[in-house]
Chain A
Amino acid sequence: MPVKVRIPTPLRKITNGSDEVAAEGRNVAELLSDLEAKFPGLKERICEPDGKLRRFVNLYLNDEDIRFKKNMETELKDNDEVSIIPAIAGGF
């Protein structure tokens, strides 16, 4: 199940500068494990140690927040797009 994952600027150091990477998984939890295998250190930036999403980072399946779907159990299909969008604060 190849899924396109959009990487936000602050995490691109971990993906060697890539703003989009491919990863696999039947659901979001599996996708995150695959991402961690490919890009070690990525998951801890998105998730708390207990595996829950950090409260200032959201994951969107296409344009829908996974918190309002089945969260980590949200199922993925071929060609889905997952975006990682962290809160940003600058107005400077």
Chain B
Amino acid sequence: MDFTDEQIERYSRHIILPEIGGRGQAKLLKSKVFVLGAGGLGSPALLYLAAAGVGAIGVADGDCVDISNLQRQIIHNNESIGKPKVFSAKESIEKINPDVKVMALHGRLTVENIREVIRDYDVALDGSDNFPTRFLMNDAAFFEQKTLVSGSMFRFDGQVSVFKPHKGYPCYRCLYPEPPPNGLVPSCQEAGVLGALAGVIGVLQAVEAIKEILGIGDTLAGNLLVFDALKMSFRKVKVGKDPECALCGPSASIKELKAYEEEACELRASKCEM
């Protein structure tokens, strides 16, 4: 592909890296990444993917921006309060990099729509805020054979991994076979989170997505990265491909998407002023 003069300047710090070069930058510009959630993790991930010149970015979120989001959701600002997060995110991305085409989906992903939504993308990022959506995203990525870069956080802790069962690596269900029953994990009312932690985890997801697109380095496929902000420790543990995995194992019992019930959360509701 031919770069414009402006693109050569814009991406010069990438192009100068032998691991990326003009060829890698062209790959990024032709790549399509889907980001589930324009919240704490989605915000920094989207900003860096956009800045990197990922050519097409899809983003889905059903919420609107609330003032309590701004402590960590840095893609939004005071003027976005009340607006759907995906439209606020689209505006920010377009200001950072006009090369990026943004597809904004204001709404929830469901058993009915998720496979079709992610079908056109090369890589998907999970920045969702609940277990039912995480399992839905994992299962849909498996059926559509999409690489999934998963990030999650709680208080001062974060986890990041890359799931690509279609390439022989484990899926999220190999790591955690089933979601916890409602009530067994701390409820959202207790769910404070260090704002800057979202930056650490979301940016790691962007790094892994970019590496997957470029095919460089070793990604976290087959590993789980566990970050503890209070101890400032990063630890990697192995994630094996579970031979008994109900989704990607040889005797898989899950043949289609299924929905888990989500625990109601007062804190999550945010008013839309549309």
Please list the residues of chain A having a beta carbon within 8 angstroms of any beta carbon in chain B: 8-10, 19, 54-56, 58, 60, 63-65, 67-68, 83, 85-92
Given A10-B185, A65-B240, A90-B231 contact (CB < 8 Å) = no
Chain A residues near B237: list those with CB within 8 A. Answer: 60, 63-65, 83, 85
Cα–Cα, bound, A91→B231 (Å): 21
Asked if residues B224 and A89 are in contact (CB atoms below 8 Å), the reply is: no
Q: How many pairs of residues, A versus B, come closer than 8 Å at their CB atoms?
A: 99
19 A-B contacts, Cβ less than 8 Å apart? A9-B157, A10-B185, A19-B228, A54-B184, A56-B131, A56-B179, A58-B175, A58-B176, A63-B236, A63-B238, A64-B237, A67-B242, A87-B175, A87-B180, A89-B152, A90-B191, A91-B40, A91-B42, A92-B40
Chain A residues near B156: list those with CB within 8 A. Answer: 9
Asked if residues A91 and B238 are in contact (CB atoms below 8 Å), the reply is: no
Chain B residues near A85: list those with CB within 8 A. Answer: 159, 224, 226, 237
* B22 in the interface (beta carbon within 8 A): no
Asked if residues B239 and A65 are in contact (CB atoms below 8 Å), the reply is: yes
- Number of residues of chain B lying within 8 A (CB) of chain A: 45
Chain B residues near A56: list those with CB within 8 A. Answer: 131, 176-180, 184-185
* B134 in the interface (beta carbon within 8 A): yes
Name 18 extra pairs, CB < 8 A, besides A87-B175, A91-B40, A91-B127. A19-B228, A56-B131, A56-B185, A58-B175, A63-B235, A63-B236, A83-B226, A85-B226, A86-B180, A87-B131, A89-B129, A89-B131, A89-B152, A89-B179, A90-B153, A91-B41, A92-B193, A92-B268
Chain B residues near A55: list those with CB within 8 A. Answer: 176-178
Tell me the chain B residues, 163-192 only, with Cβ under 8 Å from chain A: 175-180, 184-186, 191
* B106 in the interface (beta carbon within 8 A): no
Q: Which residue of A lies closest to B175 (CB)?
A: A58
**In this complex, which of B134, B154, B236, B240 has the most chain A Cβ atoms within 10 angstroms of its Cβ?**
B154
Tell me which of A9, A19, A86 contacts B155 (CB under 8 A).
Answer: A9
